[in-house]
């Protein structure tokens, strides 16, 4: 009977599997944070309760309403702004393609690269991690400010924020349960997935930690 010898994993195969695992872990972390944040949203029926709408008495009253409604409906509001942004990109295929390409470049050329990965070579020239980072920064600036992507995103954000402010000003928050202390929205709720994404990048991307 032939003796079975343990399989030896080729270094290139090991690097490929490690990169694939890093990609899966990175997106799984972001997906988990998004689901966790969305689970904290309040019922949409409260958001559109017609009996709770009234005209604010003054500008200061409108400002107070916006602040209190945002404290309560912040996850719903962020979801609305995100939906407006997604719809705007879907109705502008060129901007969507360019932005998707830019995000893919950041993922595979910088964020998810391992220290053991071979250097990037283009047209016979080898690029260091710092040069790649600078190239991505310049490309991002060009895409955002010198193409239609920037105008589409800014317009969508303006529309989304306007919808949120309009709703917040006319939605009377008196019937809402509000905590006495306003939570830190930068680390809780829907936005907490940014913290998880940053941690995932640091954990799975030694390149990002060096530059």
pLDDT digits (tens, 9 = 90+) for 133-192: 898 999 999 888 888 888 899 999 999 999 999 999 999 888 776 554 444 444 444 444
Give the whole-angstrom CA distance, residue 196 versus residue 191: 10
Name the nearest CA neighbour of 50 among 168, 165, 171. Answer: 171
Give the distance, in angstroms, between the CA of residue 150 and the centroid of all CA atoms in the same chain: 16
Residue 139 in contact with residue 105, Cβ under 8 Å? yes
Confidence band for 78, pLDDT divided at 50, 70 and 90: very high
Give the whole-angstrom CA distance, residue 195 versus residue 23: 17
Residue 190 in contact with residue 40, Cβ under 8 Å? yes
DSSP state of 49: -
Phi and psi, residue 106, nearest 5° = -60, -40
Phi and psi, residue 127, nearest 5° = -110, 135
Query: Looking at residue 185, what is its pLDDT?
Result: 44
Burial class (CB in 10 A: 0-12, 13-18, 19+), 164: buried
The pTM of the whole model exceeds 0.75: no
Give the H or E element holding residue 27: helix 11-38
Residue 142 in contact with residue 179, Cβ under 8 Å? no
Across the range 20-33, mean pLDDT stands at 57
Which residue bears the tokens 């509000």?
A: 178
Tokens of 76: 């719903």
Tell me the CA distances in angstroms from 130 to 115, 119, 133, 209, one per residue in order: 13, 11, 5, 11
63 has pLDDT over 90: yes
Give the distance, in angstroms, between the CA of residue 95 and the centroid of all CA atoms in the same chain: 17
119 has pLDDT over 80: no
Give the whole-angstrom CA distance, residue 118 versus residue 123: 15
Q: Which residues pair with 122 in a beta bridge?
A: 125
Helix pair 129-146, 93-106: axis angle to 10 deg: 160
């Amino acid at each position: 009977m032939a003796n079975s010898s343990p399989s030896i994993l080729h270094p290139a195969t090991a690097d490929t599997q490690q990169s694939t695992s890093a990609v899966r872990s990175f997106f799984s972390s972001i997906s988990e944070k998004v689901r966790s944040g969305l689970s904290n949203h309040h019922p949409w029926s409260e958001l559109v309760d017609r009996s709770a709408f009234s005209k604010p008495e003054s500008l200061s009253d409108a400002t107070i309403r916006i602040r209190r409604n945002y404290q309560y409906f912040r996850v719903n509001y962020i979801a609305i702004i995100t939906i407006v942004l997604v719809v705007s990109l879907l109705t502008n295929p060129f901007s969507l393609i360019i932005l998707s390409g830019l995000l893919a470049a950041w993922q595979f050329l910088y964020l998810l690269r391992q220290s053991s990965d071979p250097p990037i070579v283009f047209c016979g020239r080898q690029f260091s991690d710092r040069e790649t980072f600078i190239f991505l920064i310049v490309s991002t600036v060009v895409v955002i400010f010198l193409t239609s992507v920037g105008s589409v995103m800014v317009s969508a954000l303006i529309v989304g924020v306007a919808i949120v402010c309009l709703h917040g000003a006319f939605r009377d928050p008196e019937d809402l349960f509000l905590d006495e202390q306003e939570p830190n929205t930068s680390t809780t709720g829907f936005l907490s997935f940014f913290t998880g994404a940053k941690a995932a990048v640091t954990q799975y991307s030694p390149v990002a930690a060096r530059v």
